[in-house]
Amino acid sequence: MMRRLDASGLKCPLPVLKARKVLLAMQPGDRLELTTTDAMSVVDIPVFCAQSGHIMVNESRQADGFVFLIERGPG
């Protein structure tokens, strides 16, 4: 299952907190596409994934922000 979360305009730590909440409601193996505009997201989101056991599948920069593809981990 794929879900999308637009956290554009939100500053740290809100994109991480909102992603965490959505991921907790998902099943292991499901994927979340997270869109952000906060420059700190490129640091915060990968660290969050590593600490929480989620998998950072892809990370890309777009003209208006960043897009992260996260797979929910087993925990």
Write the single-letter amino acid at 70: I
CA distance 62 to 73: 26
CA distance 57 to 22: 17
How many domains does the chain divide into?
1
The residues that are catalytic are 12
Q: Domain with 20 in it: what CATH number?
A: 3.30.110.40
Of the pLDDT bands very low, low, confident and very high (cuts 50, 70, 90), residue 75 is confident
The owner of tokens 């909440």 is: 21
8-state DSSP, 54:
-
The pTM assigned to this predicted structure is 0.95
- pLDDT, one tens digit per residue, over 41-72 is 999 999 999 999 999 999 999 999 999 999 99
Please provide the size of the chain in residues.
75
Structural domain harbouring 13: 2-71
